[in-house]
Structure 1
Amino acid sequence: MLRKQGMKRSMARFDIVGQMGSLRRYARSLTRDSAEAEDLVHDALVRAYERRGTFRSGGNLRAWLLAIVHNIFIDRMRSRRSEAARIEQAGHLADQSVAASQDHSVRLSQVRDAFLALPEEQRSALHLVAIEGLSYAEAAEVAGVPLGTLM
């Protein structure tokens, strides 16, 4: 009985469902394709489940899950080796839920184009800090780079 309660408490701290929005946004930012982003999140969730024993109790679950998404993405990119294929698969960064004025729409398009034109490492760092709200230290941990490299 006590073991079941302890297991329930530890699983409550392992709330992956609450992190799905961040995982999907980050995956879409990396892949620039909704379908590929969903595949990336799915693979990350499978890996997180398989390696849930490696998650440090009391650690930052969101940073751990985002790091898994990031690492799977890097693995995929290394296996592709084709920059042209990645650019062709580019999609929209984010869906617009509200109709914007023409001027706002043009500015938004310019920002999106500039964001998509960034090298993957810079795009990833900007997304983690500016969109996901991670600290520089957390973003560096997710990206697997030293803090000074990210800043």
Structure 2
Amino acid sequence: MSPGMSASREMIAQVQPLIPALRRYARAMLRDRDDADDLVQDVLERALGAWHARREAASLRSWLFAILHNLALDRLRRIARRGTSEPLEAVPEARLATPATQESAMEQRDVLTLVALLPEEQRSVLLLVGVEQLSYAEAASVLNLPQGTVMSRLSRARERLRRMMEGERPAVRPALRIVP
């Protein structure tokens, strides 16, 4: 500690330059300016209360960010459990109604039905890359195809699926037959 400087003044001198960075991080975590400011206030209160217990060798910046991060996670968990609270008058009508889940389940079933209507070469690429999250190179290896072919088939599958979802009827191709 500098001679003639009290512990609280020294703490303020060390912490004050870090407040803008703490506020930025808090806003990024909580995505709300007022909640972020409240969080930074809580961090500063916690730091003030534990100032005597902090390790001098540890970085003050990382110590404050650790406190902020942990408090932000606690808040986010609490919000997820309890939900947000707002005055009823401030909530838009669209958020007051809960959409029926039956329709979304039917839409998912419809999408699966449409995927099943894709030609096998497009369907397999779409499922490997889109659902199983294989890279193009991995899907090419699985299907024993060049990577460009995988990319082309995926593009055609996505486009065909999009058109079918918009109501276009899938074209049914007649099966090829082998002529002797």
Q: Structure 1 length as normaliser, TM-score?
A: 0.46
RCO comparison, higher one (Cα < 8 Å, 6+): 1
Q: Which has the larger radius of gyration?
A: 2
| TM-score, normalised by the number of residues in structure 2 | 0.40
